[in-house]
Structures are given as structure tokens and as C-alpha cells.
Structure 1
Amino acid sequence: MGLLATFNITENLTLGRFIWSVLALIITPFIYRIVYSLYFDPLARFPGPWYTSSFSSFIALISVRKQEPEFIHSLVKKYGSTLPIRISPTTLFFPRPSALKDIYWTPSLNHKTKLYGTGALGPPHLFSTIEAESHKQLRRALSNAPWTIGQLKKKWESRFDTLVTLFIHKMNEHAAADRTICISDKVAQFAADVMSMISFGEPFGCVANQRDEKRILENWRQGLPFFGFIARCRFFRDQVMNVGFLASWFLPTFDQAYGMGWLMGEADRQVTERERQNAEKEFEGMPDFMQQYVHFFFYHYCLDARYQDNTTLTPLQKRAHVTLLIQAGADTTATALGSILRFIASNPSSLHLAHAEIEKADQAGLLSTPIQYEETRQHLPYMVACIREGLRLNPPAPNLFGRVVPEGGKVIDGVFVPGGTEVTTHAFTTQRDVGLYGEDAEEFKPERWLKSEEVMLEYEASQFTFGMGPRVCLGKDIAIMEMYKLLPEIIRRFDIEIEAKGSYIVSGGVAYNEGFLGKFHARKTG
């Protein structure tokens, strides 16, 4: 018995040593990573939580939990805004608006981080192009597309009018039935129809049918947590997503019956059919992003966009860019529409002033039906201020739009940053900067945009809602036109009874509104 007991003790000790050895092998790399990150890494001198400074998985998990804006904003309150804050082992976040110009207007910082190259947004396109020169050439090839407000007013506004008129008609039906609707979803359906009209020539029919056709919006939102995780977790992004058969499990495919996969397949079908038609005769239809025809000349958009060497886009690029318009512009613009409408409707003084301004302009004969872009810009300054203030507080895409510091390092906002570092800002936080906007920076106060021209210009220079510099959002003017037309028309036609304000949610760096419920009540207009 004594010998057996000794054997059991020896066996237990050996097993215990083995377990501790395994644990040591697992734990040691983590301890080394933490110690190196906090004391020996070139970024160790910058403030930030030990866990984000050591592991990129933490900011990835925070994104999945839909808490990224609040978390980053809390870091500024904890560490201040004098120095950039380390939010991952390789990433510095610059809190002050003064850093925007240094990061996004500097040519040597126009190289994007790998956040963009995950493949989660489908085939490579303008937005996901990482290298600066490649982006420059591709953007130039697509530069004649209907991006600018001048082209939109001249060639597209009447088609926007048709959708606005249909939207108002449908909302009148809901009002007549005293029906509670999800207001944020209704404006999202409008935005989806605008972008599909621009992309394919005809809207999907979301407004006409009062539903999310092919579950485009629903599926987009469901995919955001995954996009946010893989974009932020370096191991998953750089290792797992580079294994072809593994990546294919996670990414949408052309043969899916709904959502992003269906959209990619629809882009393929639309481009293929248009090219077949063009082979038979010259295109003479209504303009869309694929192409436009004016008199005897083609003013080519996507299908025949050309690089400087006169080569065209690849077949995959053509389909990717037609898809990109809807991906990038539908739910983001919808977020802006829903957030601004909620801010106005839930602030009685703002709603009263907006109503009064529109009624005054109406009585003076200054407004068309529906309201035109230029009429809002020239005659409805308070409405414009509401739009700017809503965008400031609820930016539609408060993502970590990172850039890579070139070899040799760079001074950004007065701070030297080593080469290879990923640097970024965050619209949700920079647009709440107390130093610029004052102690009421987190409050909805449209009148701040009606101060002196000098102050307004300073505010405008600090807005990162649509990005800035050579990679500013191409669809910015499309979104602005939607807001300047639909929002004042809604305020003009309806009183809004809010039943639930809902929530502004950020997932994967992209925002959407959820649960903004209420009723429209028709107003008498002169």
C-alpha cells in the first residue's frame, strides 16, 4: 500500500507539472505581449488602457458589443485630448478636430490601413482600395460619374422629386389610417430607392411597396458586427481571412436569394444585360451610374470608365462599383435622415422653429412642391442648421478610418508619430469636442450653426461626417440632396407624434437607427 501511494503521489506530481507547463506555455506569450506593449513598444509612451494597448481583440469585441463610440468617447474623458490615445497595439486615436487636416489632407498619409481589405464588403472597389496611387487612378477614372451637386441638380433632381412625392403619398396613407410606423425604417426605404435608382436606373420599389426589398437593409445591418470584428482584430483579419476556403464561409456570394449576396448578383445581372444591349445598339435610356447618353456623345460612367492609359475597369470592378453605391449610400444616408428627424421632432422648440420657417417661405411663394435643393439652401437656414447639427451628433459612419504613417514618422497635431503606426480620428468624438463647441457640445442646438460666418466655417472645417481630403465620400452630395429635399418636405406636410425615440446604434463603425416609432398627422399647407 505504501508503494502504491508513493506511485500515485509521483503520478499526480508529474501530471501537475505537465498542466503547469502547458499553462505557462499559454500564458507566457500573453504576459510578454503586455509587458512589451506597455514598456518597450515604440508606442508605449502614449496613454491608453493596458488591454487595448496590448491586444487588438479588445477594440474588436467592443465593436461587436455596439459600444465603440461610447467607449472611445470615454477614453477622451479619462485621458484628455492633448495626446493621441492608444486604442490598439498599432493604432493611435487623435481626439481633437485639429488633427483632421494633418491625417486626411497629407498626401504621404493617404495609404489606408488593412481595415479596408477584409473582403467583407464584397469585391475590391474604390472604398476598399488601400494603396494611395491606385486609389487616385481609380477615382480619376470614375470622376465623371454623377457625384457633384451641379450634376445632381441638372440631371437627377426631377427623379428625386418623383420619389419624394411617392414617399409623401405613402405617409399620407399611414396618417389617414392613424397607423404607427417605424419612421427610421421608412426613411431608410427611401434612401435605398434613391441609391438603386442611381445605380440601376430604376428604384427597387421599397417606397412603393413599403418594405425592405430583398432584405437589403436588414442583411446589411446583420453583417456589420462581423465586418467590425474582422476589420479590428488583426489576427482574424490578417490570418483567417487570407485563407481562401475559410474566408468563403463568412463572405456573401452572388447566388444568395436576398441581402448583400443578392445585391452582388443583381449588379452582375444588370451589368451583363446592359453590355449585351449596348452591343446591339447605342444606349439611349435614362442616365444611371452604369452610363449616360447625351445627344451624340457618351459621357461614360462605370461601364466605360477609363484609366489614364485608356484601359477600362475589369468586369469585377464594374460590378463591385455598381454594388458599392448601394452599400455605402443606402443605410448611411438613412441613418442621417432618421437621426435628424428624431432630433427635430423630439425637441419642441426646434420643431416649432422649423415649422414656422417653412410656413413663412411657403406663404412667400418661395417653395416648390416638392421642395427643391436650392430652395432649402437659400430660404430655410434653420432647417439647414438642423441637418448640420444632426450630422454632427449622429454621424452615419463613425468608423476608425485609419491611415498608415510613412517610414520615418510624421508630426500629427503637434505630436511625432513613428512610421508604420496606424492613425485615426472618430467623428462621434471629434464632433463633440468641448474646446470647439463648448460645454453644451453633446446637446442638439441648431442655432450654433447660425452664428457668425467665421464660427460656422470653423465648425465646417471640423466635420468628419463624410470624411475629407482625397478620399472624401463620393456620395456626399447625393446624401445632402436627399436630406435637403425629403426632411423639409416631411416637416412641411406632417406633425410627428413620437411613440418611441428608438436608438442610434453603431456596429462595425457604421450607424443605423432602430425602433424610432411614431405617427404622422397631416398638416394643412397653404
Structure 2
Amino acid sequence: MSPLEHLLNVSPTSVLLLIPTLVILGHIVPWLVDPHGLRSFPGPWLAHFSDLWLGRVARRGQRSHVVHELHEKYGTFVRIAPNHLSIADPAALQIVYAHGNGSLKSNFYDAFVSITRGLFNTRDRTAHTRKRKIISHIFSQKSVLEFEPHVRNYVLSFLQQWDRLCAEGAKSARGHEGEGGWRSRDGRIWLDCLPWFNYLAFDIIGDLAFGSPFGMIAAAKDSAPVAKSQEQALSMYGQDASKCETVAIPAIKILNDRGEYSAAMGVLPPWVRPLVKRYVPWYSRGSEAVKNLAGLAIAAVAKRLASPAYRADVLSKLQQGKDEDGNPMGREELTAEALTQLIAGSDTTSNSSCAITYYVASNPEVQKKLQNELDEALQGEDDPASSFDAVKNLPYLNAVIDEGLRLHSTSGIGLPRIVPEGGMKIGDHFFEQGTVLSVPSYTIHRDVEVWGNDASVFRPERWFERDSEAMQRTFNPFSYGPRACVGRNLASLELLIIISSVFRRFDIALEYPDKQLEISEGFLRKPLKCPVGLKRRLT
């Protein structure tokens, strides 16, 4: 009798006993063999044997904070999975993520693939080099400046909406409650600013990536069209987009769900992912969010490409891009890159704008100092939406933004990299090929040796007082090295215009001054809400 026949003849009871035995052996044996030499490093007991510890932490949405507490307990090196070491050392940034070191992205990034692999989730070095060659010029400083009129246009619409609410609230001295949850009290309009920053970021990136906004600012509503059939929309590449059937979805919510799902799925072993996607409801809903977000990009690209008119936006530049063999992107690749820009461009801008607003509003002295700088630099400027040239070199504004990005990093988790052939040495430790290493931005941004004993405090003045070289080496809001965020220039332009425009025009107070900003973390750390009070300034 063959081994297969023996297996088929095993009783159900034996199978039930065999499965847990295999699972246990599958975790114990690798720990005993210790192929990557990580057994001596401290960390949670379960993390030494299984990826499930990190999966549970990621699922709860507090990964950066939990890993930070582990570093405070254990020190620089913490084992967070059987083959994953977190290293809280600023010097490790230049080693783990350096140009030319040969390290690759881990299978964590496979969980972020939907239409096809894009620049963000491509793991192959050759494919990444090709994609970056096509895309990087789009986000050069020169190209980004072409996008500035679009950015300022939506910032102006955003300010006009807040102006309108302030005017409506001022009509009633006794207070007033308005549609959308805002209310007037004590001479201010009180609202949650997070949804508004989401509307602004989505409309900006919708215009830049797809040629038209989603209309969220005007409607004050989270709604965007998604293709009912992705196959149908992809097949209509460059044709009449009116024939593509769409339905409205809450795009911001789905984007959040997608980020949480992919970040939690990515830390699980590849063989587990299909099982949890099928049998665990939370992961099933996340999988649907991935599909819906892809459908949004497919519908938007189909609509944009149906119009032959050229405009200075990301999609037009993506179409013009060619690799070293002169080949342009195919339709799926083009759509995947547009989706990447939608996800990265909306989430980073809205999260950062909200967090910076929270920190400035929670520090009245900082807000006053910032407003004095803006008033002096922009006196005589009639346009409420600041120009990039007018604010790009304002020292305190830049310090405020950098301090906000330090405490609320665009991505706080340590992005995982695989040690290449030949190994890698960090400090006194040598790591074998295949070991997964990461450097958590959340933790190194709170390193007291770099930032001072008040590293957990929002204080922009530190950027003028401390060792600027050490701070710049440690500052990592957009990652580091050849796979750093390609859209950094655009994000910086947007934040300079948004933060300067908002605080020049409004005095902002926190509704609950003693309450910390609530955060949930998927791939990015996202505020859950930020209730503030607005009052028009007299400038």
C-alpha cells in the first residue's frame, strides 16, 4: 500500500490528533534548530514560536505602541516573530534600508497586492528598479510644482466650507446645531476635523491621479464611484466610460478597512492567509474592501482615459512614462500605480494634517507663534490658500510640520526587510541571510538620546536647539533608501499649503484639551476623531 493510500485510510480521530501535532512540531522544531540565530534575543514568549502573536497585535490596531513598549522593556533588539527582529537603533536605518545593500521586501507586502503589483508592493529588485524609473520623475520637485494649482484650488474649497459653517454658526448667539454634526458654542464652530481632512485629501488625489475630484468637499460626504464589474471596466480601457456601471461606496471607510486588513494579513504566514480570509469574518470583510478599492481605481482610470485632453496630472505623466526599453505601462499596471497614489496620497495627507492640527491646537503658545510667522510672511496676500513659494522656507512652520510627523509618523511600524546573501552586521550582531529585520519609526522618533528627555512632547523648538544632524538621520516619516516614499515632495507641498492656510485663517481649540488623540493602526497610524472648535481670525 502506498503512503497516499495509508493516509487516505487514516481514521477521522487520528486526523484530528495529527493536525495539532503537526502544528506544534512545525513551531517547536524551527525554534530548536534556530536557523537564523535569533533564540537569544528577548521578546514575547509566543513570538519566539509563532507569527500569531504579531498577527494578533496587528489585528488590534496598536502595533507600533506595543512594539515600543517591548523596546522600553527589553532594549534595542526585540524578537516579534520567529524570524523577525525589531531593532530600535537610529543607526540601523542606514544599514537595513540602505541603497545597494541588497535587502528585499518581505512577504508582508504580498498582502497589499490587488490589481497587479505596483511600486509599493513589488518585491523583485529588477521590477522595482523598472517601475521607479518610470514613476520617480513624476514626483520630482519640478513636476510636483505643476500640481500646485490643483492643490490650492481644493484647499480654497475646503476653507470656504469652514467659512460657511462659521458664518452659519454666528447667526445664533445661543448656539446652533448644523447638518453634518457641527454645532456653535462660545463663539466657535465645533466639529470633528478628521472627516474634513479626509474629504480634502481624497479630492486632491482624485484630481491628480484620476483627472477629477470625488466631490467630497462640496458634498461634505464620504462617497465615490466603484466599478460593479472590474473585468468590464478593465476591458473598456480608453473607451466610452459612460458604459462602465458603477455604484457609490464610502471610499474613506473602505480605505481604512483595507489598510487594517492588509497590515494584519501581511504578518501571518502565507499558508494561513487563504484560511483566515475564508473562515474568519473580519478578514473576509477586509478582502472585500481590497476588491472595492481596486474597483474604485479601475472605474476612475477608465473614465479619465476616455477623455483625450491632456492635463498636468499624475495619470497623464504615468501614461507618458517608459522603461529603459521604451515600453509604456500596460492598462493593469497603470491602474495599479494610480491606485497606489490614491491610497498613499489620501491617507498620508489626511492623517498628518489631522495630527498636526491636534498638536498645534493643544499648544496655544505654538499656535500663536505659528500664526505670527504666517501673518508676517503673508501680509498683503489676498488668496486664503497659501502659495508654496510663500511658505516653503518659513522655519517655524517647517518645524511644526516636522514635529507633528515625528510624533505621528506616516508609518510607525518597522517596514520588514530580508537580509541578503552574505548577511548583515548591526552593532555587535551578525544576521544570517533570510533573517527579517525592521527599524520602527515610532520608537526611534522617541529616542531620548536623539530628541531629549521630553521626546514624547510636541515641541517644535527642539528643531532649532538640538543636534540637527542626528535628528535628520533619525527622522524617518517617509522611510529611507531606494524604496522610500516616492511621493514625499508632493506630501510636503500639500502639508505646507494646508497647515499654513488653515492656521492663518482660523484659531483652533481642542474640544477636550486633556484627551489624547485616539489612534488606530493599519499600515498607517490613523486618528479616529479630532473634535475641534473653529473661529475666524481677523488678519
- Category of TM-score, reference length = shorter chain: 0.7 to 0.9
Which of 184, 188, 199 is matched with 1:189 structurally? 199
- The 1:119/1:391 distance shift into structure 2, 3 A limit, reads closer
Task: Report the alpha carbon displacement of residue 240 of structure 1 after superposing the two structures with TM.
Answer: 4.3
User: How far apart, in 2, do the equivalents of 1:235 and 1:124 lie?
Assistant: 17
Aligned match of 1:297: none
Write the letter of the residue equivalent to 2:441.
A
Describe the shift of the 1:458–1:375 C-alpha distance in structure 2 as closer, same or farther (beyond 3 A): farther
Shift of 1:370: 2.3
Q: CA deviation at 1:108?
A: 3.2
Offset, 1:316: 1.0
Displacement, 1:205?
Answer: 1.2
Of the candidates 451, 466, 470, which is equivalent to residue 437 of structure 1? 451
* Secondary structure of 2:68's aligned partner: helix
Distance 1:252 1:405 in 2: 30
Counterpart secondary structure, 2:461: helix
Q: For each residue in 1:437-485, what CA deviation from the matched residue of structure 2 results, as whole angstroms up to 9, or x when unmatched?
A: 1211111111011236xx2232122122101111110111111111101
Structure 2 Cα separation of the partners of residues 40 and 461 of structure 1: 33
Of the candidates 289, 292, 300, which is equivalent to residue 314 of structure 2?
289
The within-5 A match list for 1:78-117 is: 78-81=73-76, 84-117=77-110
2:313 aligned partner, one-letter code: D
Give the secondary structure class of the aligned counterpart of 2:90: coil
Please state how far the C-alpha of 1:426 moved relative to its aligned partner.
1.1
Residues 352-371 of structure 1 show CA distances to partners (whole Å, capped at 9, x for unaligned) of 211222223344x5796422
Pick the aligned partner of 1:268 from 292, 298, 308: 298
- 1:168 alignment partner in structure 2: 159
DSSP-derived class of the 2:437 partner: strand
Q: Which residue of 2 aligns with 1:517?
A: 531
1:67 corresponds to = 62
> Contact 2:510/2:532 (CA < 8 Å) preserved in 1?
yes
2:318 counterpart SS class? coil
Correspondence for 1:377: 392
Where does the alignment leave 5 or more consecutive residues of structure 1 unmatched? 1-17, 254-258, 278-282, 292-300
Does the residue aligned with 1:211 lie in a helix, a strand or coil?
Answer: coil
Q: What is aligned with 1:326?
A: 342
Shift of 1:206: 1.3
Residue 237 and residue 463 in structure 1: after superposition, are their counterparts in 2 closer, same or farther (change >3 A)?
farther
Quickly say closer, same or farther: Cα 1:236–1:175, change in 2 above 3 A. Answer: farther
Counterpart of 1:357 in structure 2 is 373
Q: TM-score, normalised by structure 1?
A: 0.84
Matched, 1:474 2:475: no
TM-score in terms of structure 2 length: 0.82
In 1, the alpha carbon distance for the partners of 2:398 and 2:345 equals: 20
Distance 1:461 1:367, change over 3 A: farther
Q: 94-103 vs 262-271, which deviates more?
A: 262-271
Secondary structure at the aligned position of 1:496 is classed as strand
Cα distance change on mapping 1:116 and 1:359 into 2, 3 Å: same
**Aligned-pair CA distance for 1:140:** 0.4
1:256 paired residue number: none
Alignment partner of 1:218 out of 241, 247, 253: 253
Aligned to 1:496: 508
Cα distance in structure 2, aligned partners of 1:457 and 1:89: 35
- Mapped contact 1:68–1:506 kept (Cα < 8 A): no
Report the secondary structure of 2:136's partner residue: coil
| 1:399 and 1:508 in contact (8 A); partners too | no
Query: How many angstroms does 1:512 deviate by?
Result: 1.1
How many residues of Structure 1 are paired with residues of Structure 2 in the alignment? Answer: 479
For 1:25-424, what aligned pairs fall within 5 Å after superposition? Answer: 26=20, 29-30=23-24, 33-34=27-28, 36-37=30-31, 40-41=34-35, 42-81=37-76, 84-119=77-112, 121-145=114-138, 147-153=139-145, 155-176=146-167, 177=169, 178=184, 179-214=189-224, 215-236=250-271, 240=275, 261-277=291-307, 283-291=308-316, 301-363=317-379, 365=380, 369-378=384-393, 380-424=394-438
> Take 2:100 and 2:116, find their aligned partners in 1: how far apart are those partners?
26
Amino acid at match of 1:406: P
Q: What amino acid is the match of 1:150?
A: K
Seen in structure 2, the aligned counterparts of structure 1 residues 349 and 479 have a Cα distance that, compared at 3 Å, is same
Offset of 1:120 from its aligned partner? 5.2
Amino-acid identity (%): 25
Tell me the residue number matched to 2:228.
none
Instruction: Give the counterpart letter for 1:444 in structure 2.
Output: F
Q: What do you get for the CA RMSD once the two structures are aligned?
A: 2.9
**Cα pair distance change 1:44/1:260, threshold 3 Å:** closer
Counterpart-to-counterpart distance in 1, 2:273 and 2:429: 29
Structure 2 gaps, min length 5: 1-11, 170-183, 225-249
Moved more, 58-67 or 505-514: 505-514
Distance in 1 between residues matched to 2:261 and 2:522, nearest whole Å: 7
> Distance in 2 between the 1:91 and 1:367 partners?
54
